Amino acid sequence: MRALKPKQVWATVIAVSLGWLFSAVDIILLILFQEEIAADLNLEIQTVRVAIGVGLLGSAFGGLFFAQLGDRWGRVRALATSIVIYSVATGLMAFADSQLQLFTLRFLAGIGTGAEWSIGFALLSEVWREQSRGRVGGLVAAMFNIGTFVAIGLFQSPLGWRGSFGVMVLPTLFAITLRRWIPESRVWLSFQEAKSKGELPAELSIEANRSPLRAAFTGRSKWLTLRLTLLFILMNLGFYSFSTVFINFLKAEASSGGLGLDKSGQLPFQLTLNLASLLSVILAGALSDFWGRRKAALAFCVIGAVGFYYLNAQLTEQGLKSLNTSPLSITPLNITEALMIPFALCCVGFGINGVMGIFAPELFPTHLRSTCPGVSQNVGKGIGGMIGPPLAGALVISHGYPMVLGLPGWLFLLIGLIVLSFPEVGGRSLYEFEEGEENALGRVKPSTDSTGAPSHTSQEEREPPSLQGDAEDEIG
């Protein structure tokens, strides 16, 4: 099979990056424009917030049913389809004039964004060289933060909410170009060829002929899929509860337990959220190449736990007294100085996303590399994203902001324990069908070098005979 040229590899990376960037714009635009949409459609603001949840449900549906297309149709075709779905649905938001249309379009857009994440990272993991796969994975994951800045730019532009959503139909043209110029994954093609020729091991052949969704929950990958789903539930529960409550905490009056900051007072925290997340995601991906996926993910879990403990301590009565002031006399300047470091550490903890984007597809065999991560990430986002904000809001009423803003620290500790239960598969060759699938299922751990990072033995040493000669396709 002819090797990919370097420009084809880079074109694939750019395509996956833009797909993830566009999906971020789609998600963030609704959050930013919720008040304008509510006023224009004559809806309650809470109704628009429910529409955000409807999008998360669509994302879960996309993970359950559409992520399978990446394993059935091929990575490139499925990725292009997911981009078309969410870009057309988002573009049609410009013409929405009722609650039903709003909910329907958000659900459809959620399907597209839900499928895009797992398909895109499966493709990325299969075309980039294994020794630096984590670094490029972190860079691609950071495109979500870049997409947030793009959405903010549209929000500040004179286009208004309808014009901003209308612009999002343009990624459809990108999807057409994607199908024409981006080559299909050589790993996926090699697997399909081996499957058609009957060259797969018997047990793997039986599993590969099942529907991907059924194989994810009844085959050898079942417990791995369930553990990964639990991890993403906890990650999204922590992120959505923290981000929602902290925003309310900044705005709420001091008499309600908040800080009562105006827009200028909130700005340092908004900038910290985006910049700390952006840099930590890139750093986490890079470190995972040197430390291994598990160690890097665990390190960021520890940072997040420490950050939330520190934030909780600063928000308690004793912590506020250390500022030589009372809660009712806090000024934007001294509270910003007191909370910025713990807040930054909290945001750095979420850099674990820079590891999981590439770690998740490495855990699974070729015929489930899109399905299992897609199911886990999107079901986790649907459950955690739907439960987090209302649960955190109820706890604020009963227990106050300090306690609730400290809870994600405990979630980070649980996430770390789950990470430790995964096999260290970072840097493995994704051409491996027998030995590699055993590694992915946790039966054999890859050897490590003296630093603890996965060793990179030669392709010839690890490839099955039926695939010798195709290793040059996996370049980057």
Which residues have CB under 8 Å from 250's CB, separation 6+?
Answer: 258, 259, 261, 265, 266, 269
| Cβ 464 vs Cβ 446: under 8 Å | no
Q: Report the pLDDT value the prediction gives residue 103, as an integer from 0 to 100.
A: 92
Cα–Cα distance for residue pair 59/75, rounded to 1 Å: 18
What torsion, rounded to 10 degrees, do the Cα atoms 308, 310, 316, 321 define?
Answer: -160
| Cβ 274 vs Cβ 148: under 8 Å | yes
pTM of the model: 0.81
Same fold, 6-214 and 222-420: yes
Q: Report the pLDDT value the prediction gives residue 359, as an integer from 0 to 100.
A: 92
pLDDT at 396 over 60: yes
- SS3 label, residue 304: helix
pLDDT band at 352 (very low <50, low <70, confident <90, very high): very high
Which residues have CB under 8 Å from 433's CB, separation 6+?
Answer: 191, 194, 200, 201, 204, 365, 366, 464, 466, 467
One-character DSSP codes across 232-290: HHHHHHHHHHHHHHHHHHHHS-GGGTS----HHHHHHHHHHHHHHHHHHHHHHHHHHHH
Cα–Cα distance for residue pair 194/167, rounded to 1 Å: 43
Bridge partners of residue 448, in order along the sequence: 454
The kind and range of the H/E element at 9 are helix 6-32
Taking residue 263's Cβ as centre, other Cβ atoms within 10 Å add up to 9
Q: Report the pLDDT value the prediction gives residue 326, as an integer from 0 to 100.
A: 46
Question: Considering the chain, what percentage of its residues have pLDDT values greater than 90?
Answer: 18
Cα–Cα distance for residue pair 56/66, rounded to 1 Å: 14
pLDDT tens digits for range 70-109: 888 888 888 888 888 888 888 898 898 888 999 999 999 8
Taking residue 296's Cβ as centre, other Cβ atoms within 10 Å add up to 28
Q: Report the pLDDT value the prediction gives residue 158, as an integer from 0 to 100.
A: 86
In 266-381, DSSP assigns E strands to: none
Q: Report the pLDDT value the prediction gives residue 318, as an integer from 0 to 100.
A: 46
Per this entry, what is the length of the chain? 476
Q: Report the pLDDT value the prediction gives residue 282, as an integer from 0 to 100.
A: 94
| Cβ 47 vs Cβ 186: under 8 Å | no
Which residues have CB under 8 Å from 316's CB, separation 6+?
Answer: 402
Least confident span in 21-35, 43-57, 143-157, 436-450: 436-450
Centroid of chain to Cα 271: 20
Cα–Cα distance for residue pair 109/52, rounded to 1 Å: 11
> What percentage of the chain's residues is helix, strand, coil (to nearest 5)?
80, 0, 20
pLDDT band at 178 (very low <50, low <70, confident <90, very high): low
pLDDT at 421 over 90: yes
- Whole-number average pLDDT of the chain: 78
Fold designation for 222-420: Growth Hormone; Chain: A; (1.20.1250)
Least confident span in 57-61, 259-263, 413-417: 259-263
Least confident span in 122-126, 199-203, 321-325: 321-325
Q: Report the pLDDT value the prediction gives residue 65, as an integer from 0 to 100.
A: 80
pLDDT at 441 over 70: no
Cα–Cα distance for residue pair 318/367, rounded to 1 Å: 55
Highest mean pLDDT of the ranges 28-32, 282-286, 455-459: 282-286
pLDDT at 10 over 60: yes
**Mean pLDDT confidence for 7-11:** 80
Per-domain residue ranges for the chain? 6-214, 222-420
pLDDT at 384 over 50: yes
pLDDT at 462 over 50: no
Residue 179 DSSP class: H
**Mean pLDDT confidence for 356-377:** 90
Taking residue 463's Cβ as centre, other Cβ atoms within 10 Å add up to 20
pLDDT at 155 over 70: yes
Q: Report the pLDDT value the prediction gives residue 267, as an integer from 0 to 100.
A: 73
Which residues have CB under 8 Å from 40's CB, separation 6+?
Answer: 161, 162
Residue 43 DSSP class: -
Cα–Cα distance for residue pair 382/53, rounded to 1 Å: 8
pLDDT at 58 over 60: yes
Amino acid at site 245: V
**Mean pLDDT confidence for 261-285:** 81
pLDDT at 122 over 80: yes
pLDDT band at 288 (very low <50, low <70, confident <90, very high): very high
CA 250, 252, 255, 261 torsion: positive or negative? positive
Centroid of chain to Cα 69: 19
Fold designation for 6-214: Growth Hormone; Chain: A; (1.20.1250)
Q: Report the pLDDT value the prediction gives residue 335, as an integer from 0 to 100.
A: 60
Cα–Cα distance for residue pair 52/23, rounded to 1 Å: 14
pLDDT band at 20 (very low <50, low <70, confident <90, very high): confident
Q: Report the pLDDT value the prediction gives residue 436, as an integer from 0 to 100.
A: 42
pLDDT band at 468 (very low <50, low <70, confident <90, very high): very low
Instruction: Read off the tokens for 139.
Output: 């860079």
**Mean pLDDT confidence for 204-217:** 80
